[in-house]
A and B are shown apart, each in its own frame.
Chain A
Amino acid sequence: MLEAAIVAGILICAFFAIRASRLLVSALWLAGTSALVALMMYMLGAPEIAVIELSVGAGLVTVLFVFAINLTGEEEVRWPAPLPKPLAWAMVLIPAVLLGWMVLPNVQSSLPALMRGDFQAVLWEARSLDILLQVVLIFSGVLGVLGLISDTEPAGEAIEEEGA
């Protein structure tokens, strides 16, 4: 069954993205996860968002990761975890098992027939507030990155240097 194979691939890629000790390898496994999630979205009948996820999630974000790793330097991640691992496992497994136990019996056994509507109409008319939010997010993201990437000295130090 193709869907089960894709789901297995998604989970394996996510597992190795977390487990990889080298950051670059972790970023590449993350790109694989994104590509398989995009494939699953396409199979669920959402081709528009699958294309965007493939280009942004597997493309742009991976390039950003490689760029950031190049600037910060590749270092082995072997620090001890801030939380004890059994506690982290419990904090993840208990909600996951409860959610699965409550939701899985109510999940339909098959998907209803795909009724394709007008995606553009829904996006631009019914969800116009989301578009506004996206514009604000992109604008604030650009401003945030400009502020963070800029290599200016803090005001206090600049004054001290002038005085010296």
Chain B
Amino acid sequence: MNTGIPAIVFIAVLGLLGAGLYALLISRHLIKVVVALQILVKGAMLGLVLAGRASGQIETGQALALTVIVADTIVAVVGLALAVQIRRHFNTLDITKLTTLRR
């Protein structure tokens, strides 16, 4: 079995992607959904850096990972701001109860 560093990091990528996807599927709390998205994106980011390093183009991997970090942070900011507003207007953070965005 391949037990080199790339294989170990690839297992971390698979684990983070799997954990994030599982949490996304079973979470009903809006803030937990944002946590799940963060974990999912960390797996993708680590995968980009690993791919860049393995192909000898670490700078390209880093540049792509930087874009992912920016997009991920914006998603977290907007998701958390949305959670604050939904809590204020609907008094719940259960996403299954949100059938409308109007008060």
Contact = CB atoms under 8 A, between A and B. Distances in A.
Interface of A: 1, 3-4, 7, 10-11, 14-15, 17-18, 23, 26-27, 30, 33-34, 37, 40-41, 44-46, 48-49, 52-53, 56-57, 60-61, 64-65, 67-69, 71-73, 75, 77, 79-83, 85, 88-89, 91-93, 96, 99-100, 103-105, 107-112, 114-119, 121-123, 126-127, 130, 133-134, 137-138, 140-141, 144-145, 148-149, 154, 157
A23 B19 contact: no
Nearest to B41: A57
Q: Is the interface of B mostly helix, strand, loop or mixed?
A: helix
Contact of A53 (B31, B45, B102): B45
Contacts of B81: 68, 144-145, 148-149
Interface residues of B, number: 73
B7 A107 contact: yes
B42 A37 contact: yes
Nearest to A4: B8
B53 A46 contact: yes
B25 A111 contact: no
Contacts of A116: 58
Contact of A110 (B5, B15, B78): B5
B29 A79 contact: yes
Contacts of B61: 46
A7 B11 contact: yes
Contacts of A110: 4-6
Given A91-B25, A92-B22, A27 B63 contact: no
A108 B4 contact: yes
Nearest to A129: B67
B14 A100 contact: yes
Contact of B16 (A14, A52, A109): A14
Nearest to A114: B58
Contacts of A7: 8-9, 11-12, 15
Contact of A46 (B12, B62, B74, B102): B62
Contacts of A127: 60, 63-64, 67
Contacts of A92: 18, 21-22, 25
Q: Which of A4, A44, A108 has the most CB of B within 10 A?
A: A44
Interface in B6-54: 6-12, 14-23, 25-29, 31-32, 34-36, 38-39, 42, 45-46, 49-50, 52-54
